[in-house]
Amino acid sequence: MSDDIDNDDIDNDDHDDDEVSDADAPTSVAVCEFLCRSVVEAPDDVEIDVSDTRDGFRLDVHVGPGDMGRVIGKRGRVANAIRTVVGAAAAKDGVEVEVEFID
């Protein structure tokens, strides 16, 4: 074994808090985007912002005008279903994710 270790050979799991991307939780972001785009009338207006939290990641879902009601659903049933499925996808990523719908 050599004592000379190149720092490029070490896989560092640390990442900047300022630069959080969907690469940190790719499956959950893709599933969330797919589900939200499937429900709304204007799928091109769906945006998902990924941010780092103490417990995992937060997905802030922004939809076009008039589509928030479709994403939330009656008594929040659609929103809860999206959160459940995205949470299951996050398990595949090995992270915890919370989904927030931003008006």
| CATH at residue 36 | 3.30.300.20
The pLDDT value given to residue 22: 61
Residue 94 lies in a domain: yes
The residue range of the domain holding 49 is 22-102
Q: Is residue 51 part of a domain?
A: yes
Is residue 78 within 8 Å of residue 70, measured between CB atoms? Answer: yes
Strand ordering across the sheet containing 97-102: 47-52, 57-62, 97-102
Task: Please name the residue that has the structure tokens 């008594």.
Answer: 75
Q: Are the C-beta atoms of residues 59 and 98 closer than 8 Å to each other?
A: yes
Average pLDDT, the chain: 85
Tell me the three state secondary structure of residue 98. Answer: strand
Asked whether 63 and 38 are in contact (CB, 8 A), the reply is no
Is 52 a member of any domain?
yes
Q: What is the DSSP letter of 65?
A: T
pLDDT tens readout for residues 37-82: 999 999 999 999 999 999 899 999 999 999 999 999 999 999 999 9
Mean pLDDT over residues 81-100, rounded? 95
pLDDT at 6 > cutoff 70: no
pTM for this predicted structure: 0.77
What pLDDT is recorded for position 4?
52
d(CA 45, CA 98): 21
